[in-house]
Structures are given as structure tokens and as C-alpha cells.
């Protein structure tokens, strides 16, 4: 079972990859450097807040824009344990999974979960517990995508399979 938990940082709709990791930082390949600049245009203190280990809650179209893989890498390196959103850009979603960052589509999440709520997510079942009391369900991540997440990302998954 894959379980992640932590306090919530909440963002709105249409958060694009330029907000997640600005283009000027794409010259860096070190995840730690990318993580320090995650969400910088939206909140210059995001890294300090996220570094304690957080669940990011977003609205619609999270990760839209250019298909930079560094967006998922930066969030994970900043301390984001999972992203719960109303909807994701398709390429960001896959990049998140491939980099070991759980990304779950949760209809209504923007009105169900608030900033600083404590959230526990069971990725395999789609069960989300808010503040140790309210439980909501969403479509779980299953199959190969779940195995990739449990391995820590696509590269580790492939290494584990001798590929």
C-alpha cells in the first residue's frame, strides 16, 4: 500500500509549468536546485513551506503549458508528496507518475480541502482522509502506474525489472 500524508498547500486553477518551474531554471539538472525554485512566481516562500513535506491541492488544468519534465521533478524535490487536483494536463500527469510523484484527480477537491488541512492519501485505494475525520474517495492509481510510483519512478521501476 502506498500512503502519503501531510499538511496542505493549496493553489488555484490553470497553474502552468512556467509557474511550477520558471524557464530560467531549466539550465539546471540537479533536482535540489529545481526544488528550491518550485512555484516561485506564485509564492517565493513555497520551498520553505513545502520542504516539511506537503500535499499540494490544486484546481483545474494543473500542469498545463509546456511539457517540461522538470515541473514534476521540482515539486517532488521541494517536498511535495502528492498532488490532488480537479484535473491535470495530460503530459504533466504522466511526468509526475514517471518521476514518482502521485497525482490524483479528485473532483471537487478545491472546495473539500483547505490550506493547512492535514491529509492522508492511500494512493492504491483512492481514499483521502481530511483532518483525521472526513473521508472522500477518488479513482485510485493502479496497475503499472502504481508500480512505477512504488518503485520511486520509471527509472527505478525499469532497473528493478532488469531493463
**129: which strand partners?**
120, 135
The CATH code of the domain that includes 99 is 3.20.19.10
Full-model pTM:
0.94
Q: Which residues contact 119 (CB under 8 A, 6 or more apart)?
A: 5, 6, 7, 8, 55, 57, 84, 113, 128, 129, 130
Range 143-146, long-range pairs (CB < 8 A, 24+ positions): 145/97, 146/2
- Domain range spanning residue 107? 3-160
Whole-angstrom distance, CA of residue 73 vs CA of residue 99: 7
Tell me the pLDDT of the chain (163 aa) as tens digits: 999 999 999 999 999 999 999 999 999 999 999 999 999 999 999 999 999 999 999 999 999 988 789 999 999 999 999 999 999 999 999 999 999 999 999 999 999 999 999 999 999 999 999 999 999 999 999 999 999 999 999 999 999 888 7
- Residue 21's pLDDT is 96
Give me Rg for the CA atoms of the chain: 15
**How many domains are there within the chain?**
1
The pLDDT value recorded for residue 163 is 78
What's the CA gap between 82 and 96, in Å, rounded? 9
**pLDDT for res 76:** 98
Amino acid at each position: 500500500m502506498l500512503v502519503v500524508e501531510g499538511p496542505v498547500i493549496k493553489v488555484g486553477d490553470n497553474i502552468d509549468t512556467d509557474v511550477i518551474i520558471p524557464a530560467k531554471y531549466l539550465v539546471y539538472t540537479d533536482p535540489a536546485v529545481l526544488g528550491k525554485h518550485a512555484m516561485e512566481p506564485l509564492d517565493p516562500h513555497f520551498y520553505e513551506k513545502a520542504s516539511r513535506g506537503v500535499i499540494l491541492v490544486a484546481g483545474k488544468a494543473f500542469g498545463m503549458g509546456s511539457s517540461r519534465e522538470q515541473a514534476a521533478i521540482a515539486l517532488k524535490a521541494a517536498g511535495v508528496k502528492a498532488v490532488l487536483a480537479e484535473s491535470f494536463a495530460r503530459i504533466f500527469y504522466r511526468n509526475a507518475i514517471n518521476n514518482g510523484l502521485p497525482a490524483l484527480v479528485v473532483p471537487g477537491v478545491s472546495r473539500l480541502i483547505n490550506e493547512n488541512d492535514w491529509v492522508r492519501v492511500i494512493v492504491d485505494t483512492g481514499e483521502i482522509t481530511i483532518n483525521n475525520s472526513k473521508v472522500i474517495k477518488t479513482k485510485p492509481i493502479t496497475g503499472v502506474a502504481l508500480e512505477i510510483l512504488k518503485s520511486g519512478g520509471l527509472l527505478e521501476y525499469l532497473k528493478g525489472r532488469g531493463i
